[in-house]
Structure 1
């Protein structure tokens, strides 16, 4: 995992020339789905439980705040993916997880704020 300073600096280096060129920016908060069961993920089928997700959450929260600050700095649109992930987490138990373990195929990316009607069609029950 990278630290929040490196995370923010990397995004800042990416966003600065785009903003200077007049690009309309849209940023998406990093997020985790609050799944409560043990999940097998990745090629090695690693078992990811509650303690590992607590570590990830502790690492991710300051990065979410950094993303919000960057959105403000660059007057960018910010999609609140953490809130969407929190809302969807319990609904996604038993969903078809891809081998990457990142999110159920086609669910979260289609249900960011403003697209809530896509959720029932996009995500398995």
Structure 2
């Protein structure tokens, strides 16, 4: 008997990541449009860049969730760190790179928004 819901938990996780990425992409696209309002080329490039990065993030999330699901299923019911599962050590769990990239994108968006507000006020 597996220690997780046999199909819904990975799906819920992936859907939560998709919602987060969709919201961030839409927000960055709108912010890019306003940030480049004085320059038409920049007003087109920034939203396009936000959408492209959002699509890349969606692809990475899908592959990460599938890798986690595969690693959990390979580990068996005792979990990925158990001594009884020999296959768990052969394929480690995915790292926190996606979380780090999301935090970095959020920090970059925060800095860009701060710069935009300060430069508009001056």
TM-score (ref. length: structure 2) = 0.29
Bigger radius of gyration:
2
Q: Structure with the greater relative contact order (CA < 8 A, sep ≥ 6): 1 or 2?
A: 1
Q: Where is the helix percentage greater, Structure 1 or Structure 2?
A: 2
| Larger strand percent | 1
